[in-house]
Amino acid sequence: MRILSFVVAACLAAPAFGQSPDIPPDLENYIKKAEPDYSWKLEKKEETDAGSMHLYRLVSQKWQGELWEHDLQVFIPKEATDKSSMVILNTGGGAGGNTTALGLEIARRVQYPVAVLFQIPKQPLYDGKKEDTLIAETFVRYLETKDSSWPLLFPMAKSVVKAMDALQEIGKKDWNVEVKHFLVTGASKRGWTSWLTAATGDKRVKAIAPLVIDTLNFHKQMPNQLKSFGKFSEMIHDYEERKLIPLPDTTEARKLWQMVDPWVYRDRLTLPKLLVHGTNDPYWTQDALNQYWDDLKGDKWVLYVPNAGHDLRPQDKPNQPGAKKDIFPLKAVDTLGAYSKLILSGKTLPKIDWKANGTINNAVTAQTKLDAKPVSVQSWYTTSETRDFRKSVWKKDAKDVQVLLASDPNNPAPPLASLHVPVPEKGCAAGFLEFTFNIDGTKFNLSTPISIAEAKK
């Protein structure tokens, strides 16, 4: 999966960090625009031992003269006693293969209906352009035309909104159920789509789970990327080639940044949110989350998958030749399934209140307060010659990281866990805590943000 990251290294005209620019109306206006071509129809239904599978053909919209058609696959597990809430996974490609298997697995774990929306976005377009090449093309066209319907992320988000419309209509017609709530998830640019779907203010979106999209607060991310990597990630070369990095210092370019950065919509994004990242994702710096985590409002959780890249599958030698990968992103699926099941059933996950304390006694420290005792807590630790940890191997329960878990059985106060990452003599070190919880017989993991300690120069 490839993803957008296109903002100026030093966005001179951007608001100061912490200041909230006005929420631009363009996304909401595009979502509200009537779509006469919208339609859906059932193409196939199958009954299995695990439940039923329904395949629909959805037409979500016409965008720039192009009709957007999608496969919409719905899985209803036999254990699903409540069909009024659903998970929507938005993704690329078409129905079938590994994504269908993933939808079935999530439905089995969640025990609610799961819908998988495919063909996000419609592609190829404009002389065969796909993925980031296509997104960059639409950004350039916006800058040239000032037509705010051009950024491709807008129709991507609208596809999810129209899928929710269709699923509500299907619920009434076929299940005699009013579908009220949706948990929206997706990976990479489809994780971006999940953020922007919620940013529309649609009250049907009960929660989101954006995966591997660690670039909110753009005007902070790009300087941090240059600081960490010494250059922009090679994964975003499409934007450099179209001269979108650095972002042109124009009114239209600044508006483009505002329209597509979920950070700008953060006052609306108070709903529950689970972020899932790989520690070795080649797109983002390892502390990218720290550029926006404190600004996120409402309930929020993060899971880091150690030694995993953009596909969330752990590797023995991350981002190196000959690396072996796990077949399935099991840790990510475990936590996504538990989160979805708990949130849709009206429950919540344990609160993890993380606070970085800075450098104390030659160690970068952070303290975490939990409102539930975990089954276990472990540290993850790695080192690098620079702040670029993309090829570093993370080790579990390393002696270099101190973890203190305090909980008095005679005191109901929440347990505390402290992380200490020693400042190395040279280079950089990084660490985070991972907690394992067991709620209603379901085990899952949650993390703290990553702390980085850098040798004194």
Q: Give the mean pLDDT of 307-328.
A: 94
Average per-residue pLDDT in the chain?
Answer: 90
Q: Give the mean pLDDT of 43-72.
A: 95
Rounded to a whole number of angstroms, the CA Rg of the chain reads: 22
106-138 pLDDT, tens digit each = 999 999 999 999 999 999 999 999 999 999 999
Q: Is residue 439 in some structural domain?
A: yes
* 380 shares a domain with 260: no
* 267 shares a domain with 361: no
360-379 pLDDT, tens digit each = 888 898 988 888 888 888 99
CA distance 4 to 10: 17
**Would you say residue 259 has pLDDT above 50?**
yes
Q: Give the mean pLDDT of 322-329.
A: 90
CA distance 423 to 237: 33
pLDDT band of residue 2 (cuts 50, 70, 90) is very low
Sequence-separated (6 or more) residues with CB below 8 Å from residue 196: 27, 153, 154, 156, 157, 260, 262, 265
Residue % of the chain over a pLDDT of 70: 92
- Tokens linked to 193: 């789509």
Does 124 sit behind a cis peptide bond, omega within 30 degrees of 0 on the bond before it? yes
- Contact yes or no for 323/265 (Cβ under 8 A): no
**Would you say residue 10 has pLDDT above 80?**
no
What own/partner pairs with CB < 8 Å and gap ≥ 24 does 174-178 have? 174/42, 174/54, 175/83, 177/83, 177/84, 178/84
Neighbours of 333 (CB within 10 A): 17
pLDDT band of residue 196 (cuts 50, 70, 90) is very high
Q: Is residue 85 in some structural domain?
A: yes
* 374 shares a domain with 238: no
Sequence-separated (6 or more) residues with CB below 8 Å from residue 97: none
Neighbours of 457 (CB within 10 A): 4
CA distance 148 to 154: 9
Neighbours of 347 (CB within 10 A): 10
CA distance 330 to 109: 12
Q: What is the pLDDT of residue 456?
A: 85
Q: Is residue 221 in some structural domain?
A: yes
Q: Give the mean pLDDT of 348-366.
A: 90
CATH for 429:
2.60.40
Instruction: Tell which of 271, 297, 316 closes a domain.
Output: 271
* 359 shares a domain with 258: no
pLDDT band of residue 328 (cuts 50, 70, 90) is confident
Q: Is residue 305 in some structural domain?
A: no
Least confident of 30-34, 62-66, 403-407: 403-407
221-236 pLDDT, tens digit each = 988 999 999 998 998 8
CATH for 100:
3.40.50.1820
Q: Is residue 321 in some structural domain?
A: no
Q: What is the pLDDT of residue 61?
A: 98
The count of domains in the chain is 2
What's the domain range around 411?
354-454
- Contact yes or no for 338/442 (Cβ under 8 A): yes
Q: Is residue 12 in some structural domain?
A: no
Q: CA angle 211-446-281, nearest 5°?
A: 40
Instruction: Tell which of 245, 271, 297 closes a domain.
Output: 271
Q: Is residue 362 in some structural domain?
A: yes
Q: What is the pLDDT of residue 13?
A: 32
CA distance 1 to 236: 12
Q: Is residue 86 in some structural domain?
A: yes
Instruction: Tell which of 241, 271, 301 closes a domain.
Output: 271
* 142 shares a domain with 51: yes
